[in-house]
């Protein structure tokens, strides 16, 4: 841009002075250039508008009005179904939230009970294994040979998510 490179001063009715001696314009000429650019942009926008109208008229001839009416009717039908589905899902979400609020306390309490039962059973099995090993030390013939082999714990670990 000229304004970024050279200093310009425009005063209405007098010549424009710049740092270049060969570039002297009157303010009216500068204003005329600005008006001319504005008019050309208006012409471009008008030609774009006319072009878009022509394209839309041509496009309308490609598709019959019956097909457009049919498409419009189907879209309205689908819109109605989607709105109904949305209302049903919203109602179901509200109902589910209400039910969860009612039973969440029971679920938390039952979870604590199950964890307590699991820890109690683990303790019981640990004690049984230690008692069995003590009995084996005292009375080696008390259990058959195959009963002392390592038993693989096949219980699922409920605390670790899969």
Domain borders along the chain are 1-62, 64-162
pTM of the complete model beyond 0.85:
no
Q: What is the mean pLDDT of residues 12-28?
A: 47
CB 2 within 8 A of CB 16: no
pLDDT in tens, 90-118: 999 999 999 999 999 999 999 999 999 99
pLDDT in tens, 112-146: 999 999 999 999 999 999 998 898 888 888 777 76
Q: How confident is the model at residue 7 (pLDDT cuts 50, 70, 90)?
A: very low
User: Can you give the pLDDT at residue 32?
Assistant: 52
Per the listing, tokens 């964890």 go with 115
User: Can you give the pLDDT at residue 20?
Assistant: 46
Residue 102: count of CB within 10 angstroms of its CB = 9
CB 6 within 8 A of CB 18: yes
């Amino acid at each position: 841009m000229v304004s970024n490179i050279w200093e310009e001063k425009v005063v209405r009715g007098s010549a424009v002075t710049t740092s270049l001696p060969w570039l002297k314009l009157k303010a009216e000429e500068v204003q005329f250039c600005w008006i001319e650019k504005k008019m050309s942009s208006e012409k471009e926008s008008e030609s774009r508008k006319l072009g878009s109208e022509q394209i839309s008229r041509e496009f309308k001839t490609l598709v019959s009005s019956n097909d457009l009416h049919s498409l419009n009717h189907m879209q309205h039908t689908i819109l109605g179904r989607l709105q109904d589905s949305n209302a049903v899902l919203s109602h179901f979400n509200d109902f589910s939230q209400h039910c969860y609020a009612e039973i969440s306390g029971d679920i938390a309490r039952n979870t604590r009970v199950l964890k307590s039962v699991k820890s109690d059973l683990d303790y019981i099995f640990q004690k049984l294994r230690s008692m069995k090993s003590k009995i084996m030390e005292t009375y080696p013939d008390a259990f058959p040979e195959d009963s002392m082999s390592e038993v693989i714990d096949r219980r699922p670990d409920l605390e670790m998510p899969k």
